[in-house]
């Protein structure tokens, strides 16, 4: 074997080694991609629930706008929601048990809803869950205290006080 024949084989060997490395990288990448895809959420698998808290400048929805005491008793919770959110109700859990609140959107495609139910204590950390009325799946959840509540003010009925006409002579001469 001459030196020329030995020199001519080196590029072939280097090419074959390079080709084997490329095939190994492609097959390894393919296996890694399949593994990654199998760990992603799929139909029927649980996904993380959206958080549910007070509304902020970020406007993550759904979120709580305010808590109000209803004049007839009970509490009203005003919520900002996505217009496409299905009909829902709210469950509030606390140490003493859980309470269910009926929720209604202002209109079919509204982004505001009001939930009514029993009055909850201010300052106690409560667990809030928004649940689909159709299939009873949890749509959002969060735990936080009620930090303030607006009180309903009754309308004040007053009778108007009559103001007597001012008795003064007209400014123009009377004939």
Position with higher pLDDT, 99 vs 157? 99
- CATH class of the domain defined by 53-145: mainly beta
**Integer Cα distance of 58 and 175 in angstroms:** 74
Domain boundaries, the chain: 1-41, 53-145
Position with higher pLDDT, 26 vs 40? 26
Lowest mean pLDDT among 29-33, 112-116, 118-122: 29-33
pLDDT at 41 exceeding the cut of 50:
no
pLDDT, one tens digit per residue, over 49-64 is 677 888 887 767 888 8
- Round the average pLDDT of the chain to a whole number and report it: 77
Position with higher pLDDT, 33 vs 159? 33
pLDDT at 100 exceeding the cut of 90:
yes
Q: Cis peptide before 150, with omega less than 30 degrees from 0?
A: no
Of residues 112, 101, 113, 106, the one with CA closest to residue 75: 101
- Using DSSP bridges, classify how beta strands 75-80 and 112-117 pair: parallel, antiparallel or unpaired: antiparallel
């Amino acid at each position: 074997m001459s030196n020329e024949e030995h020199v001519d084989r080196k590029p072939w060997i280097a090419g074959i080694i390079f080709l084997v490395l490329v095939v190994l990288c492609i097959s390894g990448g393919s296996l890694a991609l399949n593994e990654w895809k199998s760990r992603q959420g799929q139909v029927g698998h649980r996904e993380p629930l959206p958080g549910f808290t007070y509304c902020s400048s970020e406007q993550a929805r759904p979120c709580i706008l305010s808590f109000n005491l209803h004049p007839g008793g009970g509490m009203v919770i005003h919520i900002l929601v996505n217009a496409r959110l299905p009909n829902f109700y709210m469950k509030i859990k606390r140490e003493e048990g859980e309470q269910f609140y009926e929720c209604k959107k202002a209109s079919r495609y509204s982004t505001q809803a009001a939930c009514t139910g029993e009055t909850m204590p201010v300052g106690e950390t409560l667990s809030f869950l928004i649940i689909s009325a159709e299939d009873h799946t949890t749509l959002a959840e969060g735990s936080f205290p009620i930090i303030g509540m607006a009180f309903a003010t009754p309308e004040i009925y007053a009778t108007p006080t009559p103001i007597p006409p001012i008795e003064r002579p007209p400014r123009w001469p009377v004939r």
